[in-house]
Chain A
Amino acid sequence: MSTASLSIRPGGIKAISIMSFIVGGLQVFGSLIWFSCLSIVTADGTTYGPGELVNSIASLVSGVLYLISASGLVKLHKISGRVIGIVAALIALLGIVLRFVLPSTVGYQISLGDISTMLFPLCNIVFLSFVFADLWSASGKKGSLQGGDKVLSAWHLISSFSFKQRMRSAATFLTYTLGAFVVLSVANLIYVPLEWIAKSEFGAMIAAQGTQGQGNTLFLQFIQGTIAELLGVTTPDNNFARFILLDRPGFASLSFLVFSSLLPFLTMLIGASAISSDNQNKGLRFVLLRTSRRDIFNGKLAAVALINTMLTLLVFVLTFVFTALKYPEVYQVGELLLWTLRGFVAMVLASLPFCVLAVALSAVINSVAGSLLTGLGILLVPGITLLASSALKEIRVIEFLLPQKAAFYLLHPEPAYVLVALASVAAYSLVFYFGGLKIFERRNL
């Protein structure tokens, strides 16, 4: 009997199973509708290229396999759950790639639907292959933790253990798949209508002149200028807005900005239970006698920061791939890659104070619900302040409670702004760190 059959399902496995059921069902349903439509459309002599056909077949097959995997994961079966789940995800990804590689009749453009079909299989492969690998390994396998003959530092061990534990939770899997999906969807939803309007305005000119002509330039200026207006960050002399939206890949910048406003909330979802969950079930007591509270705090913080960084990486890789595929004629790959890398570093740094705040709250509040709700409440304060500031301008000083705009200014073209943003990130992080740690070291647990 395998270990898995003796184990209870971790939250993450339940989440993958439910998501497999939903995604698989939608894929099968969508593919069947597509095949029905195909038979009607091809009746008038129109033929579809292999791109569409292969993609639809891949979607149908992977959908069916997802459904089988959903059931297998519930029973924690290695073959019908894990292996078929990974195969389904690989087929789904292959289908997307083949849609671009093989010729298609309608001229395929990546869409919002593709984001979802890329996100889930990617997470599925990573989680089933690595995060939950030990569920199906030999019972009590020696060496499932790290170390050999080395004595490792306590905070490092706590960080690794907490990372493993948190990656196996349903919340992390859902944050990874849904959080990234929401960010890209919001950015896409802002961009797509503008693109549609711009095409109706400049489409004929582009068709006549090609993508190197003036029509394409006008098309881009319209989209990026409108985004700048929509965001309310531009004035004729606002170099910053021009820089991120016009001089740099605008869609990528837009994704970063959307992500930077959502990231604190995602960070709070990941980190607010870091210590409070262990404290709530008193499991923390097993560790408290064996290491210092400082090591526990640092280890948990490192785990949350790592999970947060991986989420940011996922979003930025997808933003890069999506932007490069969708607008190959607009953005140079090299320029896009460099800008995405800078955005990634900026976002990782900007999320640090929020990671520390989340862990600090989890260290000083006993219950998971209490620390999470308090954290989310604090994050909403600047937004509420902004609304209230129309009546009382002085109230805007409360916005400085959190470094909400640090991510924004870390992308600034002028080094002075970047340095100030870095200093504020460091200052807020240190205040939250020492505040949380001092209380945690002195409180009753």
Chain B
Amino acid sequence: MADCISIQAISKTFSQVKALNDVSLNIPEHCIYGIIGPNGAGKTTLFSIIAGFLKPDSGTVRVLGHDSLDSIRGQMSILPQDARFQASVSVVDQLVFFLQVSGWTHNDAWNEVERVLDLVDFSELLGRNSATLSHGQYKRLCLAQAFLGKPKLVILDEPCTGLDLASAKTIRSYIRKLKADTSVIISSHDMDEMQDLCDEVTMLSAGKIGSSGKVLDISRAQRSMTLVLTRALETSERAQLNAVLGIKSVQDQESLGSYALSFDAEDDEHYNQAKQALMTLLIKLNLSVRSMAEDNALEALYLSSTEASKAAKKL
């Protein structure tokens, strides 16, 4: 699979703060690629450089096979975090205008605007002024702007933040459909969303690339779950849990009766077998389970990376 974005050793400094430090990254075509990282990690700076808003101090960026953005005008779109629509012109006029400047006729642009507004459930707000929209409605409008014109590359910075559950579900479903013709890059702090949507992810921390890889691989490598019982385990019971084939460790959590279980199953089959053995043991020991939930692999990766980054800073 060819790369839709190829970034080589880019760095960017803002008044002595190094936002990106020698970042290299290749993002394949037709996949949903996630960039995760804490606030201030450099995600928005990275997106701004890919979009050409910011010029890197050093390094090169190739987007859709081109060094110059002039060659791919209209083929890339972005959902920026803090961009505002004009308050004095209706939103529909602005969306039609965006398409027209990228070479669409007015009539085609209008039809496309109707399509994307329908997609984000915005049709009833067609003539509205952007200043009169609620936060969620505004977000849907910004998403409509990003999906306009069937771009080949869409960059979505926090796409579902602030959306109600139904809207978020619709948007996620559309993003999945986009993958057939479009490459999508997403950043979000919602790790469930990232795990659900992304094919691959990269961890960005303090301007540097950390772990990266396919979400499935990360999920397999980071298998863990939180088990909450109605009482604390006795020593013998803990030993029996530790002895279950596939369970790597059982660690106490803050609240009484709550345990973090990590697995070292090689594949899905072994993992399922380990879970089944665990259930059998719990029944056998007559332990009442309050809740049992699989942990998000990306969240574990995220937390471990940020903890490591903090520790490195302290040193």
Chain A residues engaging chain B, CB cutoff 8 angstroms: 3, 6-8, 10-12, 134, 138-152, 154, 157-158, 161, 164-165, 168-169, 278, 281-292, 295, 442-445
A286 near B53 with CB under 8 A, answer no
Please give, as numbers and ranges, the residues of chain A lying within 8 Å of B97 by CB-CB distance. Answer: 145, 157, 161
A149 touching B126 in the complex, CB below 8 Å, given contacts A164-B89, A283-B85: no
A154 touching B127 in the complex, CB below 8 Å, given contacts A285-B78, A289-B76: no
Please give, as numbers and ranges, the residues of chain B lying within 8 Å of A284 by CB-CB distance. Answer: 83
Which of the candidate stretches B100-108, B197-205, B216-224, B268-276 sits at the interface with the other chain? B100-108
Instruction: Report B72 CB to chain A, min CB distance, Å.
Output: 9
A444 near B53 with CB under 8 A, answer yes
Please give, as numbers and ranges, the residues of chain A lying within 8 Å of B94 by CB-CB distance. Answer: 286
Complex Cα spacing A10 to B106, Å: 24
A292 near B70 with CB under 8 A, answer yes
Complex Cα spacing A164 to B128, Å: 17
A444 touching B110 in the complex, CB below 8 Å, given contacts A8-B131, A169-B88, A292-B73: no
Pick the contact of B89: A150, A161, A288 (CB < 8 A): A161
Nearest CB to that of B100 among chain A residues? A157
A157 touching B101 in the complex, CB below 8 Å, given contacts A8-B87, A142-B110, A145-B96: yes
B102 near A146 with CB under 8 A, answer no
Complex Cα spacing A280 to B90, Å: 20
Complex Cα spacing A158 to B98, Å: 9
Instruction: Report B51 CB to chain A, min CB distance, Å.
Output: 6
A7 near B100 with CB under 8 A, answer no
Pick the contact of A148: B83, B88, B106 (CB < 8 A): B106
A291 touching B102 in the complex, CB below 8 Å, given contacts A6-B129, A7-B90, A149-B107: yes
A281 near B84 with CB under 8 A, answer yes
Pick the contact of B132: A7, A140, A442 (CB < 8 A): A7
Complex Cα spacing A302 to B274, Å: 70
Please give, as numbers and ranges, the residues of chain B lying within 8 Å of A292 by CB-CB distance. Answer: 70, 73
Please give, as numbers and ranges, the residues of chain B lying within 8 Å of A152 by CB-CB distance. Answer: 100
- Chain A CB within 8 A of B136 CB: no
B101 near A151 with CB under 8 A, answer no
Please give, as numbers and ranges, the residues of chain A lying within 8 Å of B84 by CB-CB distance. Answer: 281-283
A-facing mask of B65-88, CB < 8 A → 1, else 0?
000011001101110101111111
A286 touching B145 in the complex, CB below 8 Å, given contacts A157-B101, A281-B83, A291-B101: yes
A283 near B55 with CB under 8 A, answer no
A290 touching B88 in the complex, CB below 8 Å, given contacts A6-B127, A139-B127, A142-B110: no
Please give, as numbers and ranges, the residues of chain A lying within 8 Å of B74 by CB-CB distance. Answer: 289-290
Instruction: Report A366 CB to chain B, min CB distance, Å.
Output: 12
Please give, as numbers and ranges, the residues of chain A lying within 8 Å of B77 by CB-CB distance. Answer: 289
Nearest CB to that of A169 among chain B residues? B88
B128 near A6 with CB under 8 A, answer yes
A289 near B88 with CB under 8 A, answer no
Q: Which of A3, A140, A142, A143 has the most CB of B within 10 A?
A: A140
Please give, as numbers and ranges, the residues of chain B lying within 8 Å of A445 by CB-CB distance. Answer: 53-54
A283 touching B83 in the complex, CB below 8 Å, given contacts A7-B127, A147-B106, A151-B105: yes
A140 touching B106 in the complex, CB below 8 Å, given contacts A157-B101, A287-B98: no
Pick the contact of B78: A12, A161, A169, A289 (CB < 8 A): A289
A7 near B83 with CB under 8 A, answer no
Instruction: Report A133 CB to chain B, min CB distance, Å.
Output: 13
- Chain A CB within 8 A of B196 CB: no
Please give, as numbers and ranges, the residues of chain A lying within 8 Å of B40 by CB-CB distance. Answer: none
Complex Cα spacing A168 to B93, Å: 14
Chain B residues engaging chain A, CB cutoff 8 angstroms: 51-55, 69-70, 73-74, 76-78, 80, 82-90, 92-94, 96-107, 109-110, 126-129, 131-132, 145
A3 near B86 with CB under 8 A, answer no
Please give, as numbers and ranges, the residues of chain B lying within 8 Å of A283 by CB-CB distance. Answer: 83-86
A285 near B127 with CB under 8 A, answer no
Please give, as numbers and ranges, the residues of chain A lying within 8 Å of B92 by CB-CB distance. Answer: 140, 144
Complex Cα spacing A158 to B97, Å: 8
Instruction: Report A280 CB to chain B, min CB distance, Å.
Output: 9
A286 touching B98 in the complex, CB below 8 Å, given contacts A145-B106, A161-B89, A292-B73: yes
A140 near B52 with CB under 8 A, answer no
Complex Cα spacing A138 to B54, Å: 40
Please give, as numbers and ranges, the residues of chain B lying within 8 Å of A287 by CB-CB distance. Answer: 98, 101
Nearest CB to that of A158 among chain B residues? B101
Please give, as numbers and ranges, the residues of chain A lying within 8 Å of B132 by CB-CB distance. Answer: 6-8
A168 near B89 with CB under 8 A, answer yes
Instruction: Report B52 CB to chain A, min CB distance, Å.
Output: 7
Nearest CB to that of B87 among chain A residues? A8
Please give, as numbers and ranges, the residues of chain B lying within 8 Å of A144 by CB-CB distance. Answer: 90, 92-93
Please give, as numbers and ranges, the residues of chain B lying within 8 Å of A151 by CB-CB distance. Answer: 103-105
Instruction: Report A445 CB to chain B, min CB distance, Å.
Output: 5
Sample of 25 A–B contacts (CB below 8 Å): A8-B87, A8-B132, A134-B90, A138-B127, A139-B127, A143-B106, A145-B96, A145-B100, A146-B106, A147-B100, A148-B106, A154-B101, A154-B102, A169-B88, A282-B83, A285-B51, A285-B78, A286-B98, A287-B101, A288-B52, A289-B73, A289-B76, A289-B77, A442-B55, A444-B54
B89 near A140 with CB under 8 A, answer no
B83 near A150 with CB under 8 A, answer no
Nearest CB to that of B91 among chain A residues? A140
Please give, as numbers and ranges, the residues of chain B lying within 8 Å of A150 by CB-CB distance. Answer: 105-106
Instruction: Report B178 CB to chain A, min CB distance, Å.
Output: 17
Complex Cα spacing A212 to B92, Å: 63
Instruction: Report A120 CB to chain B, min CB distance, Å.
Output: 21
Please give, as numbers and ranges, the residues of chain A lying within 8 Å of B88 by CB-CB distance. Answer: 10-12, 165, 168-169
B80 near A290 with CB under 8 A, answer no
Complex Cα spacing A148 to B111, Å: 12
Instruction: Report A367 CB to chain B, min CB distance, Å.
Output: 14
Complex Cα spacing A75 to B247, Å: 68
B90 near A3 with CB under 8 A, answer yes
Please give, as numbers and ranges, the residues of chain B lying within 8 Å of A3 by CB-CB distance. Answer: 90, 127
Complex Cα spacing A134 to B107, Å: 18
Complex Cα spacing A3 to B132, Å: 12
A288 near B51 with CB under 8 A, answer yes
Nearest CB to that of B151 among chain A residues? A289
Using A161-B89, A292-B73 as known contacts, list a sample of 10 further A-B pairs with CB atoms less than 8 Å apart, ordered by residue number in A: A6-B129, A6-B132, A143-B110, A144-B93, A283-B86, A285-B51, A289-B78, A290-B99, A290-B102, A445-B53
Instruction: Report A200 CB to chain B, min CB distance, Å.
Output: 52
Complex Cα spacing A289 to B145, Å: 12
Please give, as numbers and ranges, the residues of chain A lying within 8 Å of B55 by CB-CB distance. Answer: 442-444
Nearest CB to that of B89 among chain A residues? A165
A8 touching B129 in the complex, CB below 8 Å, given contacts A145-B96, A168-B89, A290-B98: yes
Please give, as numbers and ranges, the residues of chain A lying within 8 Å of B99 by CB-CB distance. Answer: 290
Please give, as numbers and ranges, the residues of chain A lying within 8 Å of B69 by CB-CB distance. Answer: 289
